[in-house]
Chain A
Amino acid sequence: MKSIAEFQQLIKESEQIHIGEACSESIENIDMRPYSGIVEYHPEELVITVKAGTSIAEIEKTLKKNNQALTFYTDNPEKTIGALYASAGADFADAILGVQIINGKGQLLNFGGQVMKNVAGYDVSRLLVGSRGQLALITQMSFKILPIDAAKRFQKKPKPQQNPSALHLLLTQKLKQIFDPYGVFT
């Protein structure tokens, strides 16, 4: 599966979808790896836009040609950037500038953008970092990048995550209802 329209159709038609590697025969699966590639990259903007299935290695290779690098910790270059987005925390979110997503209703939505500063609307592109594929299918994302030397100080391994409060979890459940009202993403 390689197009937004195909993803949208599948989400609309499926009762349940798992994003990532197949985990059960009875649940529809979206493997994002074929949906990969650099969408836009202007080195002087310090911004890169990539499809969610792009491997970290491919992004790093592209950036390196211009002496630039990602500004967060990466451990496995084979991983897709989308997989990292799904499990990461605030250090990763710091670099996020915008996302394109498909919600549980199959709607294609954009939050944030490709600019360094943008305070129009709630910061949904950073909110969804760490959402573990439970709220929406992330199809594309834009990052702030830096020259290799300057990027280094942001590439430290993040401190371990801690379990959030009960109220945080309750709010998370309610926020899931917004993005995935039919409970498609499992």
Chain B
Amino acid sequence: MTLMSVSSQLSHALPKGSLILGSENTRAFECDALGLYKQKPLAVALPTDIEQVKSVLKICRKTKTPVVTRGAGTGLSGGATPLEGCVVLGLSKMTRILSIDVENQLAVVEPGVRNLAISEAVSELNLYYAPDPSSQIACTIGGNVAENSGGVHCLKYGLTVHNVESIKMLTIDGEELILSRRDKGLGLLSLMNGSEGLLGVITEITVKLTKKPALAKLVMAGFDTVRECANAVSDIIKAGIIPAGLEMMDKFAIEASEAFAHAGYPLDAEALLLCELDGEVESVEVELEAALNILTGASTIKVSENEAERLLLWQGRKSSFPAVGRLSPDYYCMDGTIPKRHLAGVLEKISELSKHYKLRVANVFHAGDGNLHPLILYDAGMPGEIDKAEAFGMDILRHCVSVGGSITGEHGVGIEKLDAMCVQYTAAELEVFHQIKAVFDPQSLLNPGKAVPELHRCAELGNMHVHHGELPHPELDRF
């Protein structure tokens, strides 16, 4: 089958305006929010209903054309990066909210509905959709399910997988599969959450809605040392408090964010803690008092007096990525997770690595659930800096795994962390992942090559690291 024929078949199957062809026109889809990898697709299909999605899948299946499903393209791991000769199946036009069930606190939505649009649609009912990835203004719920997205409120309100009641999806064969939390037997719904577009195409999602808290208070605490701040995180949890959000930033991130957002962060602090308490008025007040008793070692402390102040204090944290981005031509965001008790030690390790690689790093993290986002600053225009930044990132992830953590907490593996997967899983475990893929997609047409590394890739990587004792970048110290 020639390339022309795939395009012309698609143009027959889709209404005008739902198909984008040609190198110039498809450029907007050549990468997701991870700009390191770019590839123009053969075509971009933007169906508006499920029948059109079925048509696209049928054409791709018959012509053995790879399909890369895409939401808003805000992913950070290259999950939606096109593959050579692929069709990008963009679901961003499927934006209908199909029904809202107030009594059972459920909403049925199409995959292209934006995360925040769900909360906006049910706001008057005093409800919202709890998971809040930082891209929530733009990212789609379909993409959230595909990545099992997190956010700053996961500790208390769960990840995407905890907030999805059921889904409808299409297999590569075009068969409709309905998966529910109430299904007896294997947890296929859990499997689909975070499957990164490799197992099927999600066409409808029933999400759980959460009652808005009566009150939310944000405590900001500055500390003289990172270790004291990390200890405060553990102490709050040990005291039986489950904050709605528990975020930490290092000095560099504090400075960058303050310069950007003017939230009133203490510039003399080595580390900053943001602790949000929400719920019924009375319980918030009790927890607030308990938290303040724990935070007596802080050098600065401030409690939001009103909603405007609370949002302003959040603004610094929420804009920390662009704030750090202003200070460097490029930055590389990592997403490792660790058991919280290793927080201080891991930060010290990152600081050592930063000195050795001679690349600056700003640290922001979801401290409550041990999810680190080190931002490595580099300049892609300087020869070798991309490689150096990637090697630095890989060393951080390796360290996260060595203390019992994971290479990715919420951004997914995509293309970016294929090598790191070899660090976290054995060949036998990776083989299980490949076999799961083959059950759903025996011809490997759905986002092939993403999320799970080929075993030979790991073998080569292993060799690369130990072969004759030679390491990549021999000029760099390893520890």
Contact = CB atoms under 8 A, between A and B. Distances in A.
A159 B178 CA distance: 18
B190 A127 contact: yes
B191 A126 contact: yes
B186 A130 contact: yes
A175 B340 contact: no
Nearest to B195: A122
A162 B182 contact: yes
5 contacts: A90-B187, A109-B432, A121-B451, A124-B436, A175-B439
A114 interface: yes
Contacts of A94: 158, 161-162
A147 to B, nearest CB: 4
A117 B240 contact: no
Contacts of B148: 119, 123
Interface residues of B, number: 73
Interface stretch (A2-10, A26-34, A37-45, A72-80): A37-45
Interface of B: 147-148, 150, 154-156, 158-159, 161-162, 171, 175, 177-191, 193-195, 234-235, 237-238, 240-242, 337-341, 366, 369-371, 404-413, 417, 420-421, 424-426, 428-430, 432-433, 435-436, 439-440, 451-452
A175 B436 contact: yes
Given A117-B150, A119-B148, A123-B191, A178 B369 contact: no
Contacts of B452: 121-122
A168 B187 contact: no
Given A130-B186, A172-B185, A172-B186, A115 B405 contact: yes
Contacts of B241: 147
B230 to A, nearest CB: 11
Contact of A117 (B156, B159, B193): B159
Contacts of A141: none
A67 B237 CA distance: 11
Given A89-B182, A175-B186, A118 B337 contact: yes
Nearest to A181: B435
Given A109-B429, A123-B190, A116 B155 contact: yes
Most buried by B among A91, A130, A150, A168: A168
Contacts of A110: 426, 429
B291 to A, nearest CB: 14
Interface of A: 42-47, 67-68, 89-91, 93-94, 103, 107, 109-111, 113-124, 126-132, 135, 146-150, 159-165, 167-169, 171-172, 174-175, 178-179
B154 A117 contact: yes
A90 B242 contact: no
Contacts of B234: 44
Nearest to B179: A168
Given A42-B341, A110-B429, A117-B150, 7 more contacts: A89-B187, A115-B369, A115-B405, A120-B421, A127-B191, A161-B183, A178-B435
Contacts of B190: 90, 93, 123, 126-127, 129
Contact of A122 (B179, B371, B410, B433): B433
Given A120-B424, A124-B432, A168-B179, A115 B338 contact: yes
Most buried by A among B161, B187, B405, B417: B187
A178 B439 contact: yes
A19 to B, nearest CB: 16
A163 B185 CA distance: 8
Instruction: Report, nearest first, the 10 A-B pairs whose CB atoms are least far apart.
Output: A117-B409, A126-B190, A116-B369, A90-B181, A147-B240, A118-B406, A161-B184, A44-B234, A178-B435, A164-B183
Contact of B181 (A43, A68, A89, A171): A89
Most buried by B among A93, A117, A146, A147: A117
A43 B189 CA distance: 30
